[in-house]
Structure formats: structure tokens, C-alpha cells
Structure 1
Amino acid sequence: MALLRSKLKLMVTVMMINLFIFLIFRQNSQYKNEQDKVHIPSKPFWTKLAPSSAYWNHQQQILDFQNNPILMANYSETDIPDWLINANLSSDPCKPNVRVTTQVKDYNSLPDRFKDFLLYMHCRSYPIKLDQPDICKKPPFLLLAVKSQVSHFDRRQAIRQSWGHAGVIANQTVVTVFLLGNATAWDHHPDLSKSLYDESMRHRDIIQWDYRDSFFNLTVKEVLFLEWIQTRCPGARFIFKGDDDVFVNTYRILDFLKGLSEPKAKDLFVGDVIVDAGPHRDKKVKYFIPESMYIGKYPPYAGGGGYLYSGDLAARLQQVSQHVALYPIDDVYTGMCLRKLGLAPEKNKGFRTFDIEVKYRSNPCAYKSLMLVHPRTPQEMIKIWAWLSNPSLNCH
């Protein structure tokens, strides 16, 4: 009986081996036959260019085409489709582009902020009114660039007295600048130009351009600042750029930066990163963007009041920004520029753009390991800075 079982087991093993050999031979034969066949692609390698229905996407298509030498080489001047020729602009690049009123299908029903943005979307160059040409005579280790508005005197002063105090901090040179546009009568702002001029003369840290300072024009402020860095402060090793209602732990930022390796420092871009986001379609939301303006998802971007990046990357962002159509949300726009460079922002838990738990807000030690907390009033900025500057603070 045992002999019969042994023979049966041997037969099954031999059959399995033969089946395995047969399958291998068959697979190889099929692969050889496949190699001998001529494969015809089911789809064209170059998809046919067609205009996007969304205005921003369409403008970006034009820029991508104009800056792609391979695509441009495939067309003669007479062959380029009409929709890829940006014939909207006058000889003066900062005159309103009235043709946009018919190119955006729901233009007339859009809120005024959209109309204003679309009319001047092509304009990237504005005169500078207040400048500090010598502020980076000695290239700083850290440049603190704060987005502010003309009327925010108290916020700027609180920052000067706390986390934006310029000079030498932890043996590193820190320079602070405030970035402003115009507070126009069109937006019912009082004329504070004399007070701002006096402030600028006293503190020598105001940078102001002659354009309408509005929420949708923060992207204009972004590209103007990137250009300013290259002309006035190209030697800045690192840049923090943020709003004037955040608290920044400058001590922690300097510690973080000094611990970076050279390769990490070169491509540094950290903040509170938002991924898999897209435009809000609810008109009641501050960040509402209609489908006639933009379609698709957003690239990863650092939002919520501030981020930190290298001076080396600032130069590359300035160059690539010329190839990215202006977008009304500045944080998203910076994410678009990073994607164009083949980079992505890195999330850092030290950036608390949606605040910290209420029970920790009055605890000095809660801020010691953080880099940014949003939002904070001018009084809170001064109080927290006093906590962190106290040598007797013990958080062990």
C-alpha cells in the first residue's frame, strides 16, 4: 500500500513538472509572436491642442506654448491657431484688457474683485514708491518679509518690537521689510500717505509699490517682491514671507536653518502644506473661484500666513514666475511656480496656521518649539515674544 502511494505521488509530481514546462514554452512562443507583430499606437503621441474653457487655463496654455521651443518649431507663423496668439494686449501692458469682458462667459455676473483682477491680470510691473535700496548692504542670513497694508501701523510696530526685531539674533543677521501696495480712495481708505512716509523715514523698512492693494492683488505683491529680492537683496540666505497677523518664533527658525545640510538648504520650502485641494465654488467663500476662471486641482501649496524658503530658490521662483499666469490666490500661485520647477513644498509641524488648542495658548512653553502661529493680535505678539526672550523660561 505504501509503495502504491509513493508511485502515485511520483506520477503527480511528474505531471505538474510537465504542465509547468508546457506553460513556460507557450508563454515564450506568444511573447516571440508579439515581438514579430507591428504595433500601431491607438492614440497620437501629441494630443491635439485645443483651448481650455477656463480663462486662466487658457492663458497658461498660451504661455506654455510660447515657452516650449519643441512645440513652437512644429508651427510656422501662419499655422499657429488663433487661440494660441495672445492678441489681447495693447502697447501699454498695464492698460485694462477690455477684451476679457467678452472672453469670460459670465464676466458681467462676477463680483467686482474678479472683474478688476481679470482686467489687469497681464500687468506685472508697477512703479516703486518707497524703497530701501541699502537695507541688504550686508547680506542677511534671514530676510523677514511681511505682507502688510498701509493702515496696519500697530501690527508693524508690534512686529518690530517682537519677532521682527532686525539686527543680530542668535549670532545671525536678520533684516525685516514690510511689503505694501496703495490704499486707494476707490476702496474708501483714508489718505495715510503722509503718516506712512514718516514711518518709512523713521524705520527704513517699508517697501511700497504703486498698485491697488487688494486680496486678489497679493499675487502681484508676490511677483514684485521676488523681483525686488533679485535687485536689492540677492545675497539673503533664507527668506520668511508671511502676513502681519502671525506670531513667528524667530529663535526657532534660526535654530532650524542652522541645522540644515547644504543640499536641503538649497531647495528649502517649508510651511503648512495643503494637498489635494481645489477651487471653492461657493460664492459665499472668500476663496471662491468660478469654473469660467479655473478648472482642475491645485498643486500642493503652503498657505495660512507664512512659509520659509531659501534665497537660491527665490531666484528660481522669480524666473519661473514669468512663465506662470497670475492667479488671484497668492499661496496657490506660489505652489504653481514650485510645480513648474519640479518641486513641492514640505510640510513642517512647526507651522500652526490654524492655531493651537485653546488650553495651550497661554502657556509660554507651547510656543518654544513652534515656528509660526496664526492668528495673533499685536498685543499677543509682544507678550509671547517676552515669554520666549526670558532667560529664566524653563520648559523641560
Structure 2
Amino acid sequence: MHGPRRKMKVAGTIMTVNIFLFIVLEVSRSGGQGKGGDSKLHVPSKRFWARLAPSTGFWNREQQKLDLLHNPVVTNTSAGVTSGGVLPFDLLPDWLNDTLGLEACEPDPRVAVQLKDYNQLPQRFKDFLSYLRCRSYPMVVDQPHICQDGPFLLLAIKSLMPHFDRRQAIRESWGRAGLLANRTVATVFLLGNATAGDHFPDLSAMLQYESAQHRDLLQWDYRDTFFNLTVKEVLFQHWVDTSCPQVSFIFKGDDDVFVNTPRILDFLKGLPPAKARDLFIGDVITHAGPHRDKRVKYYIPETMFVGMYPPYAGGGGYLYSGDLARRLHAVSHQVALYPIDDVYTGMCLRKLGLAPEKHKGFRTFDVEEKFRGNPCTYKGLMLVHPRTPQDMIKIWGWLNDPKLKCQ
């Protein structure tokens, strides 16, 4: 009888909250009507909240679970809440209980029966879905010195183990660490593991040499794939929160972009404090949804996700504040991992009640071909994508030429 009593108590609490909210809304609407006003209490004919039903998309159902478990209206009631503020299993709908008991990094064998087209999905989807709840991997290379002095700008570059030439070109051009325009700039490259299972050669000895030489690699022990870029995102968020909490601003991008670092510093210099706190700018994509064409790199089946994406900044590169980085880390635990990392970051921003701001200085889809060879094209931009290592060094040389004159 203990379980049913708890359920009745929760239902009673929620009903009381609904009635209270309705009365407040009615009083507000009437404006505290005085003489001659209609003070009649209107009782709603339908329930304020509809009964929770599972979504048709697997990711959406996982998000429904997190939304319920972090819902303050439910978890802050006095009925049957655990010490951690989470409802016990016997108070949740049955369909919400199906995966909550698994260890975080165990593959979930039940996923295969929760998606009707599971057997027809490409292997990358099966791998991602099986480890959807896994957010923690061992860190194998760290750089504790990077943030000892609290850098003004941290350049965090997503890279792969074999991309030695890209990383070196960045170090020799726009990612050069040190003092720039009287501001401290630090650079880190974010890596996972390039495994033999993905047909990579063994590059571990070369990576060890690179790490010893430059001391700017951050590496975690997870499989570095396109769908695991979201894992790289949450691991980096955790690293910032624990190892670089004093950073003022972060640029996060790919290793095939050119970044005009002096232009970014100039932009940040004149930023009002209120604007700086919630800063998140880039090449923003709005009114987008998942691709349903299996030939597209960003293909997502309907059995996995339904609905539209929130506004998000293209993953080629975006700029945001250290303050917001810490809030993104905190809220990320309330958002189910999604296999497209820039969309996932947009989801986390929406959870915070924020949206990325579009800035014309971010050109993740390049500039017109006729302007690409003109040095002055890059003078007012913050980012251009894509560029080869040779392009990066060439453009950096253009911008640092004292003879360059642009109108």
C-alpha cells in the first residue's frame, strides 16, 4: 500500500499547485477588479497538464525522462522524494523506468528493441545509442599549467590524432599562445583515441613527442568519431569547469578553420559586462531540423528524433564567455547526448533560456571565391572555413604585414 499512497500524495500535491496557479492567473487577469467587475471564479474544464506520454523518437523519450527528473514542480514536493531530489522509481510511469537502473557506461542491450528499425541503422547509430548515457571517460593527457594564470582567451580546437600538420599550422599562425594585444591567449587541442578498429595506424609515439614538445594537447580515452564529438564537448566542459574556471572567453572550433585572433580580441575589448556574461556568437542556423536523407552526413532517422532543432551556431567555430561555459556544463546533465555536437550545444543553451547570436564575422560556409585571394577580405572577419594548413600560414602572413592597407 506504500506505493499507491505515495502516488496519491503526489497527484494531490500537483492538483493543489494547479488550482493555486489558476487562481493566481485569474486574479491577475481581472486586475483585482473592483466595483462592478466580474469576480466570478472560472473553473477550467480540462486538466492543466496532460498525461505524460512517451514520444515516438528514442532521443525525445530519453529527454522526457531527464525533464521529469529535473522538474522542480515535481521533485520539490514533499511526497516521496529521495534525498537527492529525484522521484523514486515507483512514482514514475512504467515507460520511464526502462533504463534508469543501468550503470552509466554499460552498453544498453534494450535499445535494440526500443527502436523498430534498429537492425537497419548504420553501425554508428547503434554504437551511439548503446552508450547514450556515458559522459565520463579517463583523461590520459592533461595540461594543468595552461590555466594557472587565468587566460583572457582560450582557443580550444577539436582535432584528430593524425592531424599533426593542422595543429602545427595553427600554432604557427592564429593559435600562437602568449601575449597578444596585451591579453593572455592560451591554446589547447582536444583529442580522443584513434583506434585500430577505425583503421588508424599507431601514432601514439608521435603524439607523445608532440605533447612533450608543445604541452597543449588534452586527450581522453574514448573513440574519436563524428558522433562522439558531443562526448568531446561535455568532456571539455567538465575540464573548463574544474581546470580552467577563471578563463574569461573561449573560442571553440575545428582544426580546418582560419581565425583572426586579433579581430576577436578587439571585439571583446569593447564588450559591456552585461553583454559579455551571456556572450555566445557564431554563424547561427535557425529553423532547421534533422536530415532524413541517408546519404547526408547529418542524417537522423525519425525513430531517433522528432521535431525541430533550436537555434545553434555551426560547429566550425563560435565564441562564448567563460561564465556561460560554466553554466553550460551545469545544465548539460539535464540534456540527453545528441550525435551532432553543435545542435547539442544549442539544446543546452535553450535549456538555459538563451540563444546564440549571429555574427557576420563568422563565415563557416566560406566567402565568395572571387574574394578568397584578397588579404583585406580577412581583415574584418573572425573566422573563415575551411582552410588548409598552408592557407592558414599564408593568410596570417598577410594580416601581419605592416604594408597591408585596407579601406
Mapped partners of 2:237, 2:178: distance in 1 = 22
Verify the 8 A CA contact 1:89 1:97 in the aligned structure 2: no
Q: Deviations over 1:31-57 (max 9, x none)?
A: x99936653424311111111111110
Mapped partners of 2:136, 2:194: distance in 1 = 18
Tell me which residue corresponds to 1:361. Answer: 372
Mapped partners of 2:260, 2:71: distance in 1 = 43
Q: Which amino acid aligns with 1:280?
A: H
Tell me which residue corresponds to 1:94. Answer: 105
Tell me which residue corresponds to 1:167. Answer: 178
Matched, 1:105 2:116: yes
Tell me which residue corresponds to 1:82. Answer: 94
Matched, 1:59 2:62: yes
Verify the 8 A CA contact 1:51 1:83 in the aligned structure 2: yes
Mapped partners of 2:113, 2:310: distance in 1 = 29
Alpha-carbon distance, 1:304 to partner = 4.4
Q: Which amino acid aligns with 2:54?
A: P
42, 46, 51: which one aligns with 1:43: 46
Tell me which residue corresponds to 1:314. Answer: 325
Give structure 2 stretches of 5+ with no counterpart: 1-34, 81-87
Q: Which amino acid aligns with 2:344?
A: Y
Greater displacement, 34-43 / 235-244: 34-43
Mapped partners of 2:392, 2:264: distance in 1 = 16
Tell me which residue corresponds to 1:6. Answer: none
222, 244, 266: which one aligns with 1:255: 266
Verify the 8 A CA contact 2:332 2:348 in the aligned structure 1: yes
SS at match of 1:35: coil
391, 398, 405: which one aligns with 1:380: 391
Verify the 8 A CA contact 2:315 2:341 in the aligned structure 1: no
Tell me which residue corresponds to 2:23. Answer: none
Matched, 1:301 2:312: yes
Tell me which residue corresponds to 1:192. Answer: 203
Mapped partners of 1:292, 1:34: distance in 2 = 52
Tell me which residue corresponds to 1:268. Answer: 279
SS at match of 2:234: helix
Runs of 4+ off more than 6 Å: none
Tell me which residue corresponds to 1:209. Answer: 220
Equivalent residues, number? 364
Q: Which amino acid aligns with 1:384?
A: I
SS at match of 1:255: helix
Q: Which amino acid aligns with 1:346?
A: E
When the two structures are superposed, what TM-score results if normalisation uses the length of structure 1? Answer: 0.89
Alpha-carbon distance, 1:87 to partner = 3.2
SS at match of 2:228: helix
Tell me which residue corresponds to 2:72. Answer: 69
Tell me which residue corresponds to 2:349. Answer: 338
Work out the percentage of aligned pairs sharing the same amino acid. 68
Matched, 1:292 2:306: no
146, 153, 158: which one aligns with 2:169: 158
Alpha-carbon distance, 1:71 to partner = 2.1
Residues 340 and 360 of structure 1: is their aligned pair in 2 closer, same or farther, counting only changes over 3 Å? same
Residues 280 and 33 of structure 1: is their aligned pair in 2 closer, same or farther, counting only changes over 3 Å? farther
Residues 33 and 49 of structure 1: is their aligned pair in 2 closer, same or farther, counting only changes over 3 Å? farther
Mapped partners of 1:316, 1:304: distance in 2 = 19
Alpha-carbon distance, 1:330 to partner = 0.2
Mapped partners of 1:192, 1:337: distance in 2 = 34
Q: Which amino acid aligns with 2:60?
A: N
Tell me which residue corresponds to 1:13. Answer: none
Q: Deviations over 1:3-56 (max 9, x none)?
A: xxxxxxxxxxxxxxxxxxxxxxxxxxxxx9993665342431111111111111
When the two structures are superposed, what TM-score results if normalisation uses the length of structure 2? Answer: 0.87
Q: Which amino acid aligns with 2:146?
A: I
Verify the 8 A CA contact 1:88 1:99 in the aligned structure 2: no
Alpha-carbon distance, 1:121 to partner = 0.8
Mapped partners of 1:365, 1:175: distance in 2 = 26
Mapped partners of 2:375, 2:39: distance in 1 = 74
Q: What's the RMSD between the two structures over aligned residues?
A: 1.6
Give structure 1 stretches of 5+ with no counterpart: 1-31
Mapped partners of 1:304, 1:231: distance in 2 = 23
Verify the 8 A CA contact 1:279 1:289 in the aligned structure 2: yes
Q: Deviations over 1:222-259 (max 9, x none)?
A: 00000001121111100000000000000100000001
Alpha-carbon distance, 1:170 to partner = 1.0
Mapped partners of 2:66, 2:247: distance in 1 = 30
Mapped partners of 2:127, 2:365: distance in 1 = 30
Verify the 8 A CA contact 2:141 2:218 in the aligned structure 1: yes
Mapped partners of 1:75, 1:43: distance in 2 = 24
Verify the 8 A CA contact 1:304 1:354 in the aligned structure 2: no
> Rg larger in 1 or in 2?
1
Tell me which residue corresponds to 1:28. Answer: none
SS at match of 1:295: coil
SS at match of 2:306: coil
236, 242, 247: which one aligns with 1:231: 242
Alpha-carbon distance, 1:265 to partner = 0.4
Q: Which amino acid aligns with 2:72?
A: P
Q: Deviations over 1:316-358 (max 9, x none)?
A: 0000001100000000000000000000000000000110011
Mapped partners of 1:75, 1:51: distance in 2 = 24
Q: Which amino acid aligns with 1:118?
A: L
Tell me which residue corresponds to 2:26. Answer: none
